[in-house]
Structure 1
Amino acid sequence: MDLTYTGGRLDRAGARRKDEAWVTALCGRPDLRVVPSWRDRTFVRRNGDDAPAPVLLTPALARAAVASPPSDWTLLGLDDDMPVFAAEVEEPAAAAIAAAVPGTEIVELRRVASTLAPAEAAMLAYARGMLIWHRRHRHCGVCGAPTESRQAGHVRVCSACGAETYPRTDPAVIMLVERRVPGEPATCLLAHHGRLAAGMFSTLAGFVEPGESLEEAVAREVLEETGVQVGAVRYVASQPWPFPASLMIGFRAVATTFDLVIDPDELTEARWFTAAELRGAGEWGDEGADLKLPRRDSIARRLVEGWLAEN
């Protein structure tokens, strides 16, 4: 399954980033490039009608735009041999970058991800997730003291007790539930919740809780949110989802009960849809459509499309 935010080509240099001398040497290289971020937004540039591409700062522009020293930047990896880092910029610097790089736009990543080259979307998602993690772990969860970045930004160490904190990804299951009844058209279960645009229905999803398998999480979430019990559960694919820090693990599940009793704290509506109904649905942002499918960058959309291809 060809999913947005997958297909990254960077060599993450997991072993070498522990070598402080090697990282310091990378920070001094003239071919170094930096992925900037401002308020969790990404910088892309457009050249006429061409598809957007990420803005990568040169060393001089990065040092002028980023308040923190290069030692605090996060190494994303090597693109062939070129070092690629990520760093936060402040508001005045964001405007300066936009002025210095013609065609620059500062956008929400999800608005442009599906139009980027796969490796570029993956790199920007990686940068977004790492920078959010840094911002949320500036203090130790054990003693509350400030933490410091180490290993090229891939661990934070408490300045008082020495506790180490590593980047976290929260596993979340996302599932397309289907109903199979002999002699009737196949249907799938989609739902709407308050965070979705009006008229948009998506697959069910939820975070994995301690002490349960992924398959158990699928069954629990479907039952809790819609009252439907499922039998067979099959893994499909996974997708990085740094909004802010998840890994979406996609499944197909077969319902064994069909009556819907929704949890109003989680959903506003849930319905069984036929393939014919979904083929007439509109897209995110289509104000004229009463029914909309999930956005194209999401695994939810690919799960729906996969089901439609079979029906």
Structure 2
Amino acid sequence: MNKLTSRCSFTQMTLDRASNKRKSDEWISAQLAQENCQIIPVWNTSFIFVESHLVLLQGEAKLKVLSSDVTSKINIQEKEQHLIFLGLNDAVPIFAIDISSVEEGDLANLFGDSAEPIHLRAALGLINHEQASILGFANNLLYWNKSNRFCGVCGTATQTNNGGHSIVCTNKECNKEIFPRTDPVVIMLIEYKPESGPAQCLLAEHYRSADKCVSTLAGFIDPAETLEQAVIREVKEEVGVNVFDVEYAKSQPWPFPSSLMLGFYAKANDPAIQLDDDEIRDAQWFTADEVRSFSNWGDEDENYKLPRKESIARYLIDTWLEAN
């Protein structure tokens, strides 16, 4: 694994997902009862930190404390609906639990005065890549479970199954089992080589980003569309550029809430740009030397800024820079 690949967040999952074992409710209960079991509390898509350290609850006894009268403000009803099995870390069971029903002001009563809920994006500087992969997985699964409380076929309430990795309609006549879905997104760096002079890459300012923050183009895949077709369509729609030689590079899970970023390179033979004003504020061609002069995401200056180093967008850009 090269240094660029290794710094992409959410790509270094170390957990054994125990896909076959987690189908057994008895096995899940046995894992939860282990003394070394770890439970990650998640509050409204944020994780709890105390003095910059991630809060991990230990075992079923601690979970019972969370549900007791002493800490009744959590008020977890049917706690198994809020508890998700993530996997085994060297035989240590790892779970996540949704505590979003807690008022923010009550978090200190549960975890101490210095407890702070931090969104996963903001927490990336406090955790390593393996932890980021686990927390991203937790964020993804808890969001999916919360978003599927009712059957999409008959409208009946659902219940958690398979350790939180599927849900089942409680209507016996329907009995529909539903599995998590991932939203595929293509993300691409486009290159143009003029007849004379160095190669250039296309970077854009998106309306959802701060001024002077540039990145690659990206977009969701349409139904019945190949990955290559999605790259060609999205580039044409967003900047009016026709591309060819679409080449796959790398993927990255993106748990905000449940996407899979599929990275590509492609080439253009005409640099003319026609912006989609609904999504793109500006787009320009830059040489490698120009891109190397840009600042990093989060820097406070008037220079152009590149995407966060842990993102696949930055990976695509940095890999292109190495080749140029």
TM above 0.5, yes or no, is yes
Structure 1 vs Structure 2: percent identity of aligned residues? 41
Other-structure match for 1:62? 63
Q: What letter is aligned with 1:71?
A: E
Q: What letter is aligned with 2:57?
A: L
Other-structure match for 1:261? 274
Q: Deviations over 1:52-101 (max 9, x none)?
A: 5532112333333361445331100111111110111133453334417x
* Deviation, structure 1 residue 114: 4.8
Partners of 1:244 and 1:123 in 2: CA distance: 14
- 1:67-106 counterparts in 2 under 5 A? 67-72=76-81, 73-89=83-99, 90-92=101-103, 94-99=107-112, 104-106=115-117
Between stretches 53-62 and 30-39, larger displacement belongs to: 53-62
* Alignment CA distance shift 1:62-1:296 (3 Å): farther
* Deviation, structure 1 residue 112: 2.8
Aligned: 1:216 with 2:229: yes
Aligned: 1:21 with 2:26: yes
Between stretches 13-22 and 63-72, larger displacement belongs to: 63-72
The answer to whether the 8 Å contact 1:74/1:153 transfers is: yes
The answer to whether the 8 Å contact 1:10/1:79 transfers is: yes
Partners of 2:296 and 2:63 in 1: CA distance: 37
TM-score (structure 1 length as normaliser): 0.92
Count of matched residue pairs: 304
- SS of the residue 1:233 aligns to: strand
- The gaps in structure 2 that reach 5 residues or longer are 67-73
**Out of 4, 11, 14, which is 2:9 matched to?**
4
Partners of 1:105 and 1:243 in 2: CA distance: 20
Other-structure match for 2:35? 30
* Alignment CA distance shift 1:299-1:151 (3 Å): same
* Alignment CA distance shift 1:180-1:45 (3 Å): farther
Other-structure match for 2:306? 293
Partners of 2:50 and 2:316 in 1: CA distance: 31
- SS of the residue 2:297 aligns to: coil
Partners of 2:160 and 2:170 in 1: CA distance: 10
Partners of 1:256 and 1:62 in 2: CA distance: 60
Aligned: 1:133 with 2:144: yes
Other-structure match for 1:201? 214
- 1:149-168 counterparts in 2 under 5 A? 149-160=160-171, 161-168=174-181
Partners of 1:190 and 1:266 in 2: CA distance: 13
The answer to whether the 8 Å contact 2:108/2:115 transfers is: no
Q: What letter is aligned with 2:193?
A: R
Q: Deviations over 1:285-308 (max 9, x none)?
A: 223233111112210011111111
- SS of the residue 2:57 aligns to: coil
The answer to whether the 8 Å contact 2:107/2:115 transfers is: no
* Deviation, structure 1 residue 270: 1.0
* Deviation, structure 1 residue 11: 0.6
The answer to whether the 8 Å contact 1:197/1:284 transfers is: no
Q: What letter is aligned with 2:32?
A: C
- SS of the residue 1:172 aligns to: strand
* Deviation, structure 1 residue 29: 2.0
* Alignment CA distance shift 1:104-1:297 (3 Å): farther
* Deviation, structure 1 residue 212: 1.1
Q: What letter is aligned with 1:56?
A: L
